[in-house]
Structure 1
């Protein structure tokens, strides 16, 4: 099953919903096609000046088709957007549920911006795929078949010329546009101009002092020129696509006109319908170039979303006999430091160092959330990648510095880590971290923005202490607190009896402020 079909099923999009949307769009353009062909008949028939009653049905039909086209277009938009918006409404909760319950914790390998892109614009691209790719392609196919059949009834050669034109506008043009789109994406990915411009604007004072302003400006101009030239080259197929589309339509119309002149049976109405039929038939092929672009973008988005939700068949199944954590010659994906440490169960461990050496990556690696570059990380002698991920998520909790504060009550924010925590436990922990003045049912309407930076750190620390995990991995728990409070928190975490759900557990704390652990 391909990625797009998988996501459409996950979003609850049924085949009959898509067929109904395609039929609604097809009826709209069938009305337009019928209106054009009937108008051709009416014009040529009226030119023969028959009795007015002979034209009554045709005149009424033209008026009815003109009105029905707008009505059917409105119904088409209602039906298609109902399918697409319903899909996004079901898809986002399904993705969020899959990510939040994923025992492998793959979402931790993404930045917050990447996660927002997955659940935001990537889901929107799947909806765009329905409205701007699947439905237009289905409508174009339906109308093309009907138009060719109609042309065949007028003359077989006309049907052949019309089918050839449809192959050009429905296949060749979208292929050229998609090729240009892919080339433009590659150019944008490799574009160095934005980086050069950002450096020039951000560090212009330093460049001026160093006497490098002119050289850096010239380099930025050169990067801009290269970027523009590459983009023009990448989008050149768009010009060819436009030319091919116009030539395809014009050639088909000219050939059909030649068929009409060569095989004219002496009936003006036949000629009028034959000439106007291709002019209206190509209307359905107008959105196909854009449909190809949206389909390509949706395919990329679907691949990323499926990677986020697909079950990981490589997860481990073992359960460690003990909770001793050990890292041996561990090289992380970020930072150049090689880590070696042994942390027996129940011990407290403080890791200090400058920002950027990989302290946060170490915690995430110890928790089995991201892989290491080399070396080994074990719990109870078993490599973390071989441990059952569900067990690991339950017994080892990593609390990153940017952990989320939800726009709900303090109680609900604590229950995120400990769904079964009692009220007395939550009150004890809040008192321990200096938030005793807050009520459990106090609402945080703006999430983290409802608190100061120090209060946010205290609430996150309280959340960690409420959990029942045997191992707590805490990232910068004293950030944005005063020196006295930071020292008190570190003493509580490293020396004193722990408040919270477990008095005895392993605690590993990382901080870039070693002075916070030293009394003044």
Structure 2
């Protein structure tokens, strides 16, 4: 695969599919907003000094009306600017998510399967929002600030070149130095502080949850020391980030003060030595106050860019992995449905792997994979589904390696259902149709009754059309497991690979479900369908054809790839 060395933020912005016309409209609305403020400052300065000369009232009437118009237009244009920028950002994040979903669905399945629990949601949720924020908090404000700064300096050039130069330097301090300092503080906070906080959380939880074992082993003091050290690193990183952040906060007020005082001194000198009018002197002093309104948003823009760049790196890392070339098998699903696992060692790159596994999965088989937590049961199941490549050994169907089977055929016949599969914030029926799009309401109600959710369904306000507000948060842990089990049952796959289908159920209910899944006399699955269940709570008398214990070996002692 060809590596793309471009800035990840530029690549991620491409996912937003920004339309130049809409962006220009947003920038124009922002320029009109701050342009009204700038014109209002200049006109107000002229009006104040002109009124001091006590001219006829009619000489001021146009200026008075213009002041009111500019005050109103500033609010109107601000509203339009908010509408247009958020419209661009929301359209962009929708487009980005659609592209991410499409590329993950069509790409290497290991890209999504390799993420830890919640990481995929973070990348398609908060990370995409961070990239979308670039439009609202960075691109438009930077463009508006640049136009406003040039306009303010240009206006002062007609009155005093030295004052215009001072304003230009002050704007550079506020618009370049302050954002750079803010970005540096954000990088420290996002990288050093975040990693230290994660290390502190892990150390503290270990010390709290396993204090008895650690005390017996004589390692409790060391664990507590690790937590204290990590907490110190968090504090140090926060302090390091506070220094540039404080200077960034002080830069703009300092630049404003210097610019106004310099303009006042220059104006006093010019007023005494030239024919400068009082109105020009007022504009010279008051105009810089509004000129900094645009640059005041740039430190926030710099922080948004920094966060977006880090988020973009995470998003593009997943998409790059999804775009990796995978073996595109051209074999149809073999007539022999026997799935053969021969010497399989499953694991992640650089981590522990399972001990070799060898067994046959025949049509209609009922198999249980058991083992200690962390032994690699789920990893072995994902490898059997073709989501991960074997570290060593082979997986074949009718003598054909699954890597050589056409992906669509493989997905149609083998279904992997993860323990932490997602429940969407949509109706109960649509959550089941994730696995089978043509599922009828009658069939859905039947399968929900079969998995023990008949009474639950009867009490829902809208039945199958009830929206699960918040997804998994709308149901209990046991109800969630039964919904996911129902999704697996309605799927068209002939070989079901179920990861901990009874997790969060009480012991008696979980045992009943496992007996239904693994027993030949069970009614939950048709006799011709095959099921492989990962569990650590296997009850007695399940009727399983095979019970396979999964062990693990260290990364250093694993078998070489064949």
Which TM class, normalised by the smaller chain length?
Answer: 0.7 to 0.9
CA offsets 1:57-105 (integer angstroms, 9 cap, x no match): 3233223323332333233333333333444455555555555565626
Provide the rounded CA distance (Å) in 1 between the counterparts of 2:467 and 2:58. Answer: 71
Contact 2:345 2:353 in 1 (8 A): no
Report the alpha carbon displacement of residue 306 of structure 1 after superposing the two structures with TM. 4.1
Query: 2:16–2:132: 8 Å Cα contact kept in structure 1?
Result: no
What residue in structure 1 maps to residue 129 of structure 2? 124
| Aligned length, in residue pairs | 517
Number of the residue aligned with 1:469: 493
Aligned to 1:367, which of 382, 385, 396?
385
Q: CA 1:19–1:423 in 2, change beyond 3 Å: closer, same or farther? A: closer
Kept after mapping to 2: 8 A contact 1:184/1:231? yes
Find the residue that maps to 1:516 and give its secondary structure: coil
| 1:390 matches 2:408 | yes
* Unmatched segments (≥5 aa) in structure 1: none
The CA deviation at 1:341 is 1.8
Partner residue in 1 for 2:285:
275
Contact (CA 8 Å) 2:428, 2:467: kept in 1 or not?
no
- Shift of the 76–425 alpha-carbon distance from structure 1 to 2, 3 Å rule, reads closer
After alignment, is 266-275 or 416-425 more displaced?
A: 416-425
TM-score by length of 2: 0.77
**1:46, distance to aligned residue in structure 2 (A):** 3.2
Query: How many Å apart are 1:130 and its aligned residue?
Result: 1.7
Mean Cα deviation higher: 263-272 or 140-149: 263-272
Give the match for residue 190 of structure 1. Answer: 196
Aligned to 1:164: 169
The structure-2 alpha-carbon separation of the partners of 1:145 and 1:52, relative to structure 1 and needing over 3 Å to count, comes to: same
Given the alignment of the two structures, is residue 150 of structure 1 paired with residue 155 of structure 2, yes or no? Answer: yes
Q: State how 1:202-351 maps to structure 2 within 5 Å.
A: 223-261=230-268, 263-264=270-271, 265-268=274-277, 269-308=279-318, 312-320=323-331, 322=334, 324-328=339-343, 330-333=345-348, 336-343=353-360, 345-346=362-363, 347-351=365-369
Return the match for 2:375 from 353, 357, 364: 357
1:168–1:392 distance in 2 versus 1, CA, 3 Å: farther
After superposition, give the CA deviation of every residue in 1:179-227 in whole Å (9 maximum; x if it has no partner): 1111122232123444455456656788899999998777755654443
User: Is the alpha carbon distance of 1:496 and 1:175 closer, same or farther for their aligned partners in structure 2, counting shifts above 3 Å?
Assistant: same
Q: Provide the secondary structure at the position in 2 that maps to 1:159.
A: helix
Aligned partner of 1:513 in structure 2 is: 537
Residue aligning to 1:378: 395
Deviation at 1:411, TM superposition (A): 5.4
What 5-or-longer segments of structure 2 have no aligned partner?
Answer: 1-5, 544-562
Equivalent runs, 1:6-25 vs 2, <5 Å: 10-11=15-16, 13-25=18-30
Q: Given the superposition, is the C-alpha separation of residues 174 and 457 from structure 1 closer, same or farther in structure 2, using an over 3 Å criterion? A: closer
TM-score, structure 1 normalization: 0.82
What is the CA-CA distance between 1:284 and the residue it aligns to?
0.8
Checking the alignment, whether the CA contact within 8 Å between 2:370 and 2:538 is kept in structure 1 is yes
The answer as to whether partners of 2:346 and 2:379 remain within 8 angstroms in 1 is no
Residue 131 of structure 1: CA displacement? Answer: 1.4
| Residues 107 and 324, structure 2, Cα contact 8 Å, conserved in 1 | no
Q: For residues 416 and 194 of structure 1, do their structure 2 counterparts lie closer, same or farther at Cα, with a shift above 3 Å needed?
A: closer
CA distance in 1, matches of 2:74, 2:457: 61
In 2 relative to 1, CA 103–393 (structure 1 residues): closer, same or farther, beyond 3 Å?
Answer: farther
Tell me the SS of whatever aligns to 1:354.
Answer: coil
**How far did residue 36 of structure 1 move?**
1.3
> Please, which moves more after superposition, 459-468 or 421-430?
421-430
